Amino acid sequence: MAKEKMVKEITSMEEDFAKWYTDVCLKAELIDYASVKGCMIIRPYGYAIWENIQSIVDGLFKEKGHENVYMPLFIPESLLQKEKDHVEGFAPEVAWVTMGGDEPLEERLCVRPTSETLFCDHFKNIVHSYRDLPKLYNQWCSVVRWEKTTRPFLRSREFLWQEGHTLHATAEEAKAETEQQLNIYADFAEKYLCMPVIKGQKTEKERFAGAEATYTIEALMHDGKALQSGTSHFFGDGFSRAYDVTYTDKDNKQIYPFQTSWGISTRLIGAIIMAHGDDSGLVLPPAVAPIQTVIIPIATHKEGVLQKANEITERLKKVCRVKMDATDQTPGWKFSEYEMKGVPLRLEIGPRDIENNQCVVVRRDNGEKIVVGLDELETRIPEILKEYADGLYSKALDRKINMTYDAKNLDEMKEIAENKPGFIRAMWCGDRACEDELKEVAGVTSRCIPFEQEHISDTCVCCGKKAEKMLYWGKAY
Amino acid sequence: MAKEKMVKEITSMEEDFAKWYTDVCLKAELIDYASVKGCMIIRPYGYAIWENIQSIVDGLFKEKGHENVYMPLFIPESLLQKEKDHVEGFAPEVAWVTMGGDEPLEERLCVRPTSETLFCDHFKNIVHSYRDLPKLYNQWCSVVRWEKTTRPFLRSREFLWQEGHTLHATAEEAKAETEQQLNIYADFAEKYLCMPVIKGQKTEKERFAGAEATYTIEALMHDGKALQSGTSHFFGDGFSRAYDVTYTDKDNKQIYPFQTSWGISTRLIGAIIMAHGDDSGLVLPPAVAPIQTVIIPIATHKEGVLQKANEITERLKKVCRVKMDATDQTPGWKFSEYEMKGVPLRLEIGPRDIENNQCVVVRRDNGEKIVVGLDELETRIPEILKEYADGLYSKALDRKINMTYDAKNLDEMKEIAENKPGFIRAMWCGDRACEDELKEVAGVTSRCIPFEQEHISDTCVCCGKKAEKMLYWGKAY
């Protein structure tokens, strides 16, 4: 009864995917709306997911020698303007500070939408010789982009992210960094978020403002839309030239160093929701789940139940993130509450279980009930979590495979785009006009030129001229 | 030689304490100046100190049941204005966003100087019943206060901090929270930063804007000035009333809940610099030092030296944060470099040491050289770090005791304030006029009404009327 009531509170995916998404964000207590339009409050349960993401990714960065720094929140307008493409890309969507207390500022300040310009300004101060390179920097912070249309996690006026900014003596080294970081993102998405991704390069049209090359990981959501989930940019020496950053090499020559930047954001929480969630709510990958196992004692008034549940909780604390819920809500209410919150495993323990020296473990993803002997808890729970994670990944992979279509010509492209949500693989001549056209007539944008190329046809899906590359296309968040 | 050269680059404390401070900030590579006046760039070495502070303090908070959240960066002007005292206190020093892209905003947004107003607005949404209380929230973020005069870490227009915001059913519970958090700050300062503090209450004049009571920890810097190092505020139900936050109690009555907030910031890095530093640079407490032991191999061209240094590094990684510097700089250059950076222990290992199966460990605080057998490294290094931390604390404690003076009347107060840098303990009638007067004639402000009261005299140090309380006075950052 209680369960039905809870479940009814979420719109089903079928009925209205966008509404389902917002319902999950609010009902699983990930966010609350804020008094400033387009901004969000990240509540403890949502923030704990972000903390887990941070902790894993930060470790992966540090293993590769990256150091964290903190740059100011504000960028003077004149500093932002030094790189022409960059300012054109960002100026239309920045928030401007014009007053400090009661006094108008001499120069208005932009609230950082991204910090390339600040890093360049700093690099100029601290990099002089080849001995000072490379600089492998990262920062965790919030950024602001004054978007018109917003959605929690996916597109909000302020969001949390990390932005890596590195400076290298050679273009080769910078390119290798760009690639290394994209691989870290892809591995993180697949291994920790159980979310398969396509790795590839963005077309010129979709490139980051000021970059020579932008690499991306693209994931497929439940509704067949693509989500750009992490990007890595190679800047060449363009920013160095614009900001006059130079170093003296071993032969005493002045060289413009080569720069990269790369980032992932709280958008990944949106990706998790839409990649794994179902009509009962969130389904969390164990690596980032704030609670990995919730213990629900059954018939708590019976002698020994609470004591046993407490004992199990203490034991499991050593092998996973565990919570015991001994509140006076009904088991049914608790079941649906933790389903809504996407807790991977529910462990039920009642008088009869105790008698049999066992408990029942229920998987959130498929409802499977597993009887586990109490003596083998510490080994079985991590195993089941691993099986659960593998299950999430293969389910998402199957979906990606089943929802990826090939189009050989414009008619096929239009037909698929209209009727079959998912990725569309199709050849492209390399011409931006064809990208514009496909957006216009089929409503799809190029997601990326995947590193793993395949031959779908000889000619461009749009204009019919000789094809250069295979692209992934799709509707995107 | 190399060492002398390095040391000469810092101004001595005696000569110019303020210049010494800035030199340390820059030369130890804690910060760089930013393009926005009054803001700072926190460099990897400075940020690593902050990460260590965060990690320890965050753990202490979570042990007490606090959860992290993230509130928006912006506060609509109308929201800020709901609590009269609060807006009066902060409005003169906030940065205002007035434009989003090319469009003027309908309502200007303040960049958060602190987030009580945002938390209240959120609490109003999520707190309804006594079952929803307490809320024990914290956030790590940056805040902006448009100060006229700025100094790295001590007073900058943007700084990093944590702000705890909690909501409780009763005033008693909220007061207990305020006290608990102040104690956490004091313990953290003393045990981890090796910095003795005075715990006490602020006078009404020095209270946080909108608070009923503000508690503080005050530390003494090398130059005898006080530094407010952490504060904890009890708001009563004032904010709840202003923001219309209520809950239904067990008897179905509507009650205004009671609120607290508490914070520490990157200012603590300034405190560390000024509490422990010396003319050779930083002196870091081990708990927050990015490198606890630096290993300097001597005569690296000799066979076996580098190999042994590497072996020791690997072994010590298990017991402390260790770095080995095998670059081609001279040992002298390295000695002064890591002295400047305040690394607690330097471990020297050369051919003769290896022959004798030993190494030389040098303490940064007092230069003491300790011969340590290579077989006992894993036990001795943590012991020496502990002794070093205890040494830092007692040195700072001695200084505090030696630089604390008692004043019985205005003449004594003026004489001490003029000639003896440090804390001044003196009685006070409770009248704000006397605080204003003492600021005027002696240049001192009330630091706090310490919890540990002592009787210095019967009468107020300023007006001579009957005294109510013993206060700590001083010049402050």
Closest residue, chain A, to B126 (C-alpha): A32
The verdict on a CB contact (< 8 Å) between A35 and B121 is: yes
**Closest in B101, B122, B144 to A94, CB measured:** B101
Does A111 sit within 8 Å of B97, measured CB to CB? yes
Share of chain A above pLDDT 90, in %: 95
DSSP-derived secondary structure for B315-328:
HHTTTS-EEE--SS
Query: What's the CA gap between A213 and A418, in Å, rounded?
Result: 31
Task: Answer yes or no: are the C-beta atoms of B4 and A98 closer than 8 Å.
Answer: no
> Which A residues 3-42 touch B at CB under 8 Å?
32, 34-36, 39-42
B248-252: long-range contacts (C-beta < 8 A, 24 or more apart)?
Answer: B248/B128, B248/B129, B248/B130, B249/B130, B249/B169, B250/B130
**DSSP helix/strand/coil, B301:** coil
**Do residues B446 and B473 make contact, with C-beta atoms less than 8 angstroms apart?**
yes
* B321 has pLDDT over 80: yes
Could you report the per-residue pLDDT of A334-373, keeping only the tens digit for each? 999 999 999 999 999 999 999 999 999 999 999 999 999 9
pLDDT in tens, A184-243: 999 999 999 999 999 999 999 999 989 999 999 999 999 999 999 999 999 999 999 999
Distance CA A238, CA A244 (A): 10
Residues with Cβ within 8 Å of A247's Cβ and at least 6 positions away in sequence, in order, are A127, A128, A129, A130, A132, A133, A169, A254, A255, A257
Nearest-Cα distance to chain A for B313, in Å, is 17
What's the whole-number mean pLDDT along residues A19-24? 97
- List the single residue in B35, B76, B100 with the smallest CB-CB distance to A79: B35
B433 has a pLDDT exceeding 60? yes
C-alpha triplet A370, A375, A376: angle, nearest 5°? 55
B positions 129-158 inside 8 Å of A (CB):
137, 141-142, 144, 146, 158
Mean pLDDT (chain A) is: 96
Placement of tokens 């001490």 in the chain: B416
Nearest to A195 by CA among A447, A400, A396: A396
**Which residues of chain B neighbour A100 with C-beta distances below 8 Å?**
93-96, 146
> Residues 6 or more apart from B104 whose CB is under 8 A from it?
B98
Contact B451, B469 (CB under 8 A): no
Place of tokens 């002298």: B332
Helix axes B432-442, B410-419, angle to 10 degrees: 50
Sign of the Cα torsion A231, A237, A238, A240 reads positive
Number of helices (H), then strands (E), belonging to chain B: the values are 15, 23
Q: How many CA atoms lie within 13 A of A204 on its CB side?
A: 8
Phi-psi category of residue B401: left, alpha or beta, with phi > 0 → left and psi -120 to 50 → alpha: alpha
pLDDT in tens, A263-294: 999 999 999 999 999 999 999 999 999 999 99
- For residue range B160-195, list pLDDT tens digits in order: 999 999 999 999 999 999 999 999 999 999 999 999
Q: What is the pLDDT at residue B83?
A: 86
Sheet holding A226-236, edge to edge: A67-68, A135-144, A158-168, A258-265, A226-236, A213-220, A197-201, A445-450, A469-474, A423-428, A404-406
Task: Give the type of residue at A280.
Answer: S
Give the tokens for residue A80.
């932002």
**Residue in B37, B39, B55, B70 to test binding to A, most A beta-carbons within 10 Å:** B70
Pairing of strands A293-297, A345-349: parallel
Indicate the length of chain A as a whole number: 477
pLDDT tens sequence across A445-468 = 999 999 999 999 999 999 999 999
**Distance between CA B355 and CA B471 in Å, rounded?**
60
CB A216 within 8 A of CB A200: yes
Which tens digit of pLDDT belongs to each residue from B237-258?
A: 999 999 999 999 999 999 999 9
> Which residues are A214's β-sheet partners?
A233
Q: Which pLDDT score, from 0 to 100, does residue A8 have?
A: 54
Chain B residues inside the 8 Å CB shell of A144: 73
Residue A341 three-state SS: coil
Say if residue A7's pLDDT is above 80. no
- B118 chain-A contacts, CB cut-off 8 A: 34-35, 41
Read off the tokens for B203: 């006078």
What is the predicted pLDDT for the residue at B8? Answer: 54
Q: Spell out the residues 6+ positions from residue B60 whose beta carbon is closer than 8 angstroms to its own.
A: B184, B187, B188
Question: Does position B6 have pLDDT exceeding 70, yes or no?
Answer: no
pLDDT for position A83: 86
Q: What is the rounded CA–CA span in Å between residue B449 and residue B181?
A: 18
pLDDT of residue B86: 84
Check whether B420 has a pLDDT greater than 50.
yes
- Which residues of chain A are within 8 Å of residue B96 when distances are taken between CB atoms? 97-100
Cβ–Cβ below 8 Å for B100 and A99: no
Task: Say yes or no for a CB contact (<8 Å) between B72 and A41.
Answer: yes
Give A136's strand partners: A166
How many angstroms separate the CA atoms of A124 and A247, rounded? 9
pLDDT tens column, A146-193: 999 999 999 999 999 999 999 999 999 999 999 999 999 999 999 999
Name the residue facing A95 among B50, B97, B125 (closest C-beta). B97
Task: List residues bridging with A151 in a β-sheet.
Answer: A155
Q: What is the pLDDT of residue B219?
A: 98
**Beta-carbon separation of B99 and A91 below 8 A:** no
Q: How far is B182 from chain A (nearest CA, A)?
A: 23
Measured between beta carbons, the chain B residues lying within 8 angstroms of A44 are: 67-69, 137
Name chain B contacts of A126, Cβ cutoff 8 Å: 32, 43
Q: Which among B271, B399, B281, B394 is positioned nearest to B344, based on CA atoms?
A: B281
**Buried residues in B227-245 as b, exposed as e (16+ CB within 10 A):** bbbbbbbbbbbbbbebbeb
Give pLDDT tens digits for A40-53. Answer: 999 999 999 999 99
Residue B1: the pLDDT is: 41
Shortest Cα distance, chain A CAs vs residue B311, angstroms = 20
- Give B-chain residues touching A34 at CB under 8 angstroms: 71-72, 118, 121-122
For B329-362, write each residue's pLDDT tens digit.
999 999 999 999 999 999 999 999 999 999 999 9
Taking only residues 80 to 99 of chain A, the set having a beta carbon closer than 8 angstroms to any beta carbon of chain B reads 91-99
Interface residue B254 vs chain A (CB under 8 A): no
CA distance B64 to B374: 41
Residue of A nearest to B92 (CA): A101
Cβ atoms within 10 A of the Cβ of A148, count? 10
Task: Quote the CA–CA distance of B437 and B92 in Å, as a whole number.
Answer: 25
Report how far residue B273's alpha carbon sits from residue B269's, in angstroms, rounded to the nearest whole number. 6
C-alpha to C-alpha distances, A177 to A56, A170, B224, B261, B284, nearest whole angstrom? 19, 11, 48, 43, 33
A23 by DSSP, 3-state: which?
Answer: helix
**Counts of helices then strands in chain A (DSSP H, E):** 15, 23
Q: How far is B225 from chain A (nearest CA, A)?
A: 28
Q: Nearest Cβ partner of A42 from B51, B69, B96?
A: B69
Residues of chain A neighbouring B36 (CB-CB closer than 8 A): 72, 74-76, 109
Distance between CA atoms of B100 and A175, rounded to whole angstroms?
35
Inter-residue contact A40 to B125 (CB < 8 Å):
no
Task: Please judge whether A160 and B111 are an interchain contact, meaning their C-beta atoms are less than 8 angstroms apart.
Answer: no
On chain A, the residues whose CB falls within 8 A of the CB of B141 are 142
ipTM of predicted complex: 0.95
Residues of chain B in contact with residue A48, where contact means CB-CB under 8 angstroms, are 67-68
B71–A118: do the CB atoms touch at under 8 Å? no
What does the pLDDT read at residue A213?
97
Tokens representing A399 are 């979906």
Q: Does A51 touch chain B (CB under 8 A)?
A: yes
Contact B40 A72 (CB under 8 A): yes
At residue A2, does pLDDT exceed 50? no
Element housing B466 (H / E): none
Task: Answer yes or no: is pLDDT of A4 > 90.
Answer: no
